[in-house]
Amino acid sequence: MLKGKHIILGISGGIAAYKSVSLLRLFVKAGADVQVVITPSGKEFITPVTLSALSGRPVISEFFTANTGSWNSHVDLGLWADAMVIAPATASTIAKMANGVADNMLITTYLSAKSPVFVAPAMDLDMFAHPSTRRNIDLLRSYGNHIIDSPAGELASHLVGKGRMEEPERIFEVVDAFFDKEQDLKGRKVMITAGPTYEKIDPVRFIGNYSSGKMGYAIAEECASRGADVVLISGPVSIKCNDSRVRVIGVESATEMNEAAQREFADSRCAIMCAAVADYAPAQVAAAKIKREKQDVPTIVLKKNPDIAAGLGAVKSDSQILVGFALETDNATANAVEKIERKNLDFIVLNTVTANSGFQVDNNQISIIDADGKKNDYSLKPKREVAKDIVDHLVEKIKK
């Protein structure tokens, strides 16, 4: 999919710069036209000769060529690019990008770029974990840049943790997939619920669950990359959505999630109910913190929360598709089928909870059961691939 695409490969000064050579090779082999822009310190790690030989273009680093007076136009470059990929992106480059510190050609080009921008951070684990880096990465995300998150592993310092640059093959895959995605959800609004809900007991305590939101967020990103207009109604989670095209509505309780879902479902083509909604909430929320010494062991009386999926199922039109999730520990298929009927779903995704699949982990093993009882079993996969299987199934239903 990258054939003929114009890619700016931005390289900043980190040890991972040597991996940029492999990334450049992958882009060139795929038929992309690559212009390397390197920071002055990037050249300490990798030579422009290698990069220009492989890209077939002179490497750009300085604003001016001193002996000829010719200058490089970052504005033209920014307009030329179909994508800008900054790998490695050091803490310093990320900070400059986040704050518009335009003191080198890479940053001026970034600030002029009209294309999607992909950023692969690379630094030592303490720098990566530092609040300033976290904030700067969040800022880049909020500008709509695609962050290719750092995987955990051994770093150049021999310390083990997050901070190393993602492997070139994976960075290539992410960029390629961005262009490869068939826009089969273009013009369609998809509503997704994700994460847990928190039900207040008093101002400092709540009833919640272990849902991380990872599955719902992966589905939202998959739908957005396929052209959908995505609204993600999310309970409290610690993850961030990596796709700026997704509109995120943050909620806390099941009641808040229900209100947002009812409002957003009205003009949605599909809804995917991924949230682990608390079935019960305290009937009374204590106005002040419940004190240990002032009373005997308190009894918390619960009331039923609304069943959000069932509520939407009751008002669903023929053209709307409603997808549920089921997390079962016993009689899984029978329970899932019962939920399809009770909630008027078009299909349900049955989740398996094991040490490697389900809550809090990055993998999931699912089965999809249709309203007519047809069941498809899938193997254990990373959640972003599971998201693709689910969205493929959804698209099949839409086409029918």
- State yes or no: is 136 an active-site residue: no
Number of helices (H) and strands (E), helices first, in the chain? 13, 21
Total Cβ atoms within 10 A of residue 115: 17
Instruction: Report, in Å, the least distance between residue 27 CB and ligand CTP.
Output: 40
Which residue lies nearer to ligand CTP by CB, 42 or 195?
A: 195
Interface contacts to ligand CTP, rule CB under 6 A: 193, 254, 273, 275, 277, 279, 305, 307-309, 324-327, 339, 343
Instruction: Report, in Å, the least distance between residue 215 CB and ligand CTP.
Output: 11
Instruction: Report, in Å, the least distance between residue 396 CB and ligand CTP.
Output: 19
Which residue lies nearer to ligand CTP by CB, 52 or 335?
A: 335
Identify which of 140, 85, 94 has the alpha carbon closest to the alpha carbon of residue 116.
85
**Rounded to an integer, what distance in angstroms lies between the CA atom of residue 363 and that of residue 382?**
4
Which residue lies nearer to ligand CTP by CB, 68 or 360?
A: 360
Which residue lies nearer to ligand CTP by CB, 109 or 253?
A: 253
- Give the DSSP letter string of 330-394: SSHHHHHHHHHHHHT-SEEEEE--BTTBSTTSSEE-EEEEETT--EEE---EEHHHHHHHHHHHH
- In this structure, which amino acid lies at residue 304? K
In contact, 72 and 42? CB cutoff 8 Å = no
Which residue lies nearer to ligand CTP by CB, 42 or 324?
A: 324
- Give the DSSP letter string of 261-273: HHHHHTT-SEEEE
Instruction: Report, in Å, the least distance between residue 305 CB and ligand CTP.
Output: 5
Instruction: Report, in Å, the least distance between residue 348 CB and ligand CTP.
Output: 7
The catalytically annotated residue of 72, 99, 136, 209 is 209
Active site positions, annotated: 209
